Amino acid sequence: MYWLSVLSVLTVVPLGFATPPSPCWDDMRLKHSWDSIPEKWECQGHPPAGTTIDLRVALKPHRKNALIDALYEVSDPSHSKYGAHLSKEQVAELVAPHPDTLELVGSWLACHEVPSTAVSITHGGSWLTVYNVPLTQANALLGATYQRYRHIETNETIIRTISYALPAALHEHVQTVAPTTYFGSPHALRLTSKVMSNGPTLPNGDPVLQNASSTFAPGAPLPSTCLKTITPECLRRLYNTMSYKPQARSVNQLGITGYLGEFASQSDLTKFLTLFRVDALPAQFSAVVVNGGINDQNQPGVEANLDIQYAESISYPTPNIFYSTGGTPPYKADEQTPTNANEPYLDWLDFILNQQTIPQTISTSYGDDEQTVPQDYAESVCNLFAQLGSMGVSVLFASGDIGVGGGSCHSNDGTNSVKFIPIFPPSCPFVTAVGGTTQVNPEVAANFSSGGFSNYFSRPCYQEAAVVSYLTKLGGQNSGLFNPNGRGYPDISAQAMNFLVVVNKTVVIVSGTSCSAPTAAGVISLLNDFLISKGRSPLGFLNPLFYRAPTSFNDITSGSNPGCGTSGFSAGTGWDPITGLGTPDFLKLQAALG
């Protein structure tokens, strides 16, 4: 197509702007604002003169639903195109904006004397990046007031505005601009893992460690130590992966994303495998640094080590890649950019969507309260995850660790009313959210497992029957505290308590849905290996398949996720907003795939 050929040129040469109209785009209309400074942030005034930021502008596609329609076609097992995942070029065609959009946006930028050499196009033409924009110019472009803000708990400083506007003529062409009103910058992201200071002790001679490296026969019973602490042995038995031997390790890959300056330690992985899966030695993972990420192998993060140790031990010998994404302290500031203005998800998505080879399975264990993320921003990021799904990537997110909501649970919509607090990105309908369980024989819902219903995203068709069935049984309970028409999450679950993890050569005990996500990702990666080894396409976006195969999961029927001064939701037969469809059974899922 001519438009695609134009895009291919625009991605490598400066963008040419149209002649600016007159008057100069002065009909400004509000795009997004907060009623007050977001919770836990305080304003520290204007940044120094000369401060610059990079602006990302998400453009609306010419064909509004084309990407999502295509995503469902290649993800629905009943569709003739199931498994026919898209190329980068095909995705670019689907998300391309109308030619008038680039012309109008270009005229707007030119009107404000933004040089064409400062602009590039990414993600198939759906995003513009404007580099080194002085804050005075950004304020004029967006009717904004950028200031420096400090997070009162982490002491991190960022540059943001509590409101911004766009010319009225651009509202139908521009989805969002970042960074603007999204205050969920790196250290405000919530880690979904916690070292358990009051967990089971591990004295010298503990049988968990004495017997951890033993190799059990595939049909052997679950070790009794799994009643106390979780090791790879426990998970491989619980989820029936013991007997499967990966065959497609030259093609199949599993990716783990890391933020907040997190990186994983190879030496800790080696000790972990020595203790808990000696047959996987000498497994190694690849470390990829994104946007100034860290990988110095000193003082690794608990989150990073947890993720890579369990993903690797379940999926071995599948190659694992850890992505350390920068944008957090230590941040190398200069006199023009004294504070952090990065958007963590966008930094990583910019990188991964530009790669020729992307892991077939990707796990992430970070999230924000959905209400702290501007809806236009959330929708734009969610659509980038949809791009990954359409290209055959299974994207999993830990659901969070605050039940139905933490703290006072007051909404920030101006009413200050008590509401359940959903978590983003798990609330995005184009990712697979993983909740948490505990105990064995049977498993029950972990009481911290976040789950509920999105206030931004409507209920997708793939979960219509399952969610309606749950809501019918729920009746009027918790009425008014959640959006019954929203996307329900999590989709599935896995063990989340008392995981043994090696950090700085010491065994610690960790809990949280950060344990669940890499565990589930390991199982999914094995399923992808099975398909690829048969010459078939990987799973890609998982949810349409999973909701059609609920009996391939271990249904979790007890437990609840209290929060917001309530008992939250209760687990029950079928899908529920604590454990989703349940925990995976590899052999049943393998059989369902045929």
Q: Per the annotation, does 491 bind a ligand?
A: no
Q: What is the DSSP string of 264-327?
A: --HHHHHHHHHHH-GGGTT--EEEEEESS----SSS--HHHHHHHHHHHHHHTTS-EEEEEE--
Q: Catalytic site residue 307? A: yes
The residue type of 89 is: E
Q: Which of 93, 156, 233, 303 is the catalytic position?
A: 303
Catalytic residue among 233, 262, 268, 307: 307
Tell me: is residue 529 an annotated ligand-binding position. no
Q: How far apart are CA 333 and CA 330, in angstroms?
A: 9
DSSP per-residue letters across 126-176? TEEEEEEEEHHHHHHHHT---EEEEETTT--EEEE-SEEEEEGGGTTTEEE
Residue 256 carries which side chain, given as an amino acid letter? I
Which two three-digit tokens encode residue 34? Answer: 């907060």
Cα dihedral 169, 172, 175, 181 sign:
positive
Q: Which of 126, 193, 514, 552 is catalytic?
A: 514
Before 330, cis peptide (omega within 30)? Answer: yes
576 is in an annotated binding site: yes
Left if phi > 0, otherwise alpha if psi is -120 to 50, otherwise beta: which for 422?
A: beta
Is residue 555 part of an annotated ligand binding site?
yes
Q: In sequence order, what are the residues at sequence separation of 6 or more whose Cβ sits closer than 8 angstroms to the Cβ of residue 556?
A: 437, 442, 443, 444, 445, 493, 571, 576, 578, 579, 582, 583
Q: Residues 6 or more apart from 566 whose CB is under 8 A from it?
A: 404, 478, 481
Question: Using CA atoms, how far apart are residues 289 and 295, in angstroms rounded to an integer?
Answer: 7
User: CA-based Rg of the chain, rounded to a whole angstrom?
Assistant: 24
Kindly report the number of other CB atoms within 10 A of residue 469's CB atom: 15
Please provide the DSSP assignment of 378-435 as one string.
Answer: HHHHHHHHHHHHHTT-EEEEE--SSTT--TT-B-SSSS--B----EETTTSTTSEEEE
Residue 514 bears catalytic tag: yes
Looking from the CA of 376 toward its CB, the CA atoms found within 13 Å total 23
Q: Which residues are catalytic?
A: 303, 307, 514
> Which residues define the annotated binding site?
555-556, 574, 576
> Which residues define the annotated binding site for Ca(2+)?
555-556, 574, 576
